[in-house]
Amino acid sequence: MPDERTSVTTPDAAPSPLLTAHAQLASAVEILGYDDGLHRMLATPRREMNVAIPLRRDDGSIELFSGYRVQHNISRGPGKGGLRYSSSVDVDEVRALAMWMTWKCAVVDVPYGGAKGGVTIDPTRYSTAELERVTRRYTSEISPIIGPERDIMAPDIGTNEQTMAWVMDTYSVNRGYTIAAVTTGKPLAVGGSLGRATATSQGVVHAAAAALADAGVRLDEVSAAVQGFGKVGSHAARLLHEAGTKVVAVSDEHGGVHAPDGLDVVALLAHVADGGTVGEFEGGQAISNTELLALDVDVLVPAAVEGVLDADSAARVKARWVVEGANGPTTTEGDRVLAERGVVVVPDILANAGGVIVSYFEWVQANQAYWWTEQEIAERLEQRMAASYGAVSSLSRRESLSLRDAALVIGVRRVAEAHQIRGLYP
């Protein structure tokens, strides 16, 4: 078994994302019958870099931040994964996210390995100019291990398309020419792709539709609640609403709003765009994030942060389907409780893979300097999500596995096969 000393617990005794990621891998390894040596290789990051990031603030004072880039696996291609800015970021969180990216890329069969980056900073407390300086210094520090053939970054919590433009520019200036393919999720004006901004959310909706179809149900026949109203949750709520789903509750980090007859999602989006919080929206009753998870809905979409569905909160879930928009929203114990209660969980490494699929499309377009239409991207995304869900669902039924175990088995097996075919050097 891998060394569990890096698998820590958070102060409130909830499992860390890394502990959850290791437990999920162990489950897949047991099903696949792999030996201890291969298990250790699959569990251990290939490369890590920890960097110090000094910032000269606008008032002239100096602050120092910690930054990380973890390349979990590169056997199937260059590393791929987001860059997260959050005051809670630590190296274990980044390790877990990088591992999940490895399996995610393999499940949807894009030629990437898994990577992830993070800076321990609360971006809401700093000016745009300060965030630019942090981003450029971080990029400079990790530049020896990134690149379009080595490791490609994308936005995550606390970062956006402007952040990716700064990363791309910093990397390009230091190489002496423009290298658009070093990041994805960039603005269109500097090599971004149509459809990228909503790709993760669109993938969540495709996954939800496929899971419902397995039970003979359509999106316009169900109700849903969405936890998280950021880049993923807000677009997922809109797209579900447009598909005819009755979206009865959404929330952000400050709280949520609930309307049993359905929210006016368009008005809510306009309210948030004007600077309001979800909980302040007048089109429903205020609700907490915890209460949202326990609502009597058909579909629950946790699209915020890791670990929100633990044993306690999972026991209160009334939804028939949980479609994971966030990375790692369900702990190992939460998974067990949901399975015992007959809740179908569409796992993150499948449900939210739309982002990495269209990131792959953006990388391909940047490398060939030829851009696809939005319709072409949407069609290819839907085809890739449908094929990936079909393979996972088929294995789940054939081997009597949960959708998570089936997805992990497919992803882990593909990565292990790449390891074994390439062999060991020297």
116 catalytically annotated: yes
- Dihedral sign for Cα 23, 224, 158, 78, please: positive
What is the rounded distance in angstroms from the CA atom of residue 370 to the CA atom of residue 191?
10
DSSP reduced 3-state for 407: helix
DSSP reduced 3-state for 217: coil
Residue 412, classified by CB atoms within 10 Å of its CB into exposed (0-12), middle (13-18) or buried (19+), is buried
Residue 144, classified by CB atoms within 10 Å of its CB into exposed (0-12), middle (13-18) or buried (19+), is exposed
Distance of CA 209 to the CA centre of its chain: 19
Tokens 């969180």, residue? 93
Residue 405 to residues 28, 210, 214, 387, 416: CA-CA distances in angstroms? 6, 17, 17, 17, 16
Distance of CA 261 to the CA centre of its chain: 30
DSSP reduced 3-state for 210: helix
Backbone angles phi, psi at 72, to 5 degrees: -70, -45
What is the rounded distance in angstroms from the CA atom of residue 182 to the CA atom of residue 164?
9
Q: Are 398 and 18 in contact (CB under 8 A)?
A: no
What is the rounded distance in angstroms from the CA atom of residue 358 to the CA atom of residue 186?
12
E strand map for 288-378: 299-302, 321-323, 344-346
Residue 192 to residues 44, 164, 352, 354, 370: CA-CA distances in angstroms? 32, 10, 20, 16, 11
Tokens 């067990």, residue? 336
Distance of CA 273 to the CA centre of its chain: 23
> Which among 246, 247, 243, 206 is positioned nearest to 228, based on CA atoms?
247
Q: Are 6 and 18 in contact (CB under 8 A)?
A: yes
184 strand-pairing partners? none
Q: Active-site residue among 80, 104, 116, 246?
A: 116
What is the rounded distance in angstroms from the CA atom of residue 157 to the CA atom of residue 295?
26
What is the rounded distance in angstroms from the CA atom of residue 373 to the CA atom of residue 375?
5
Catalytic residues: 116
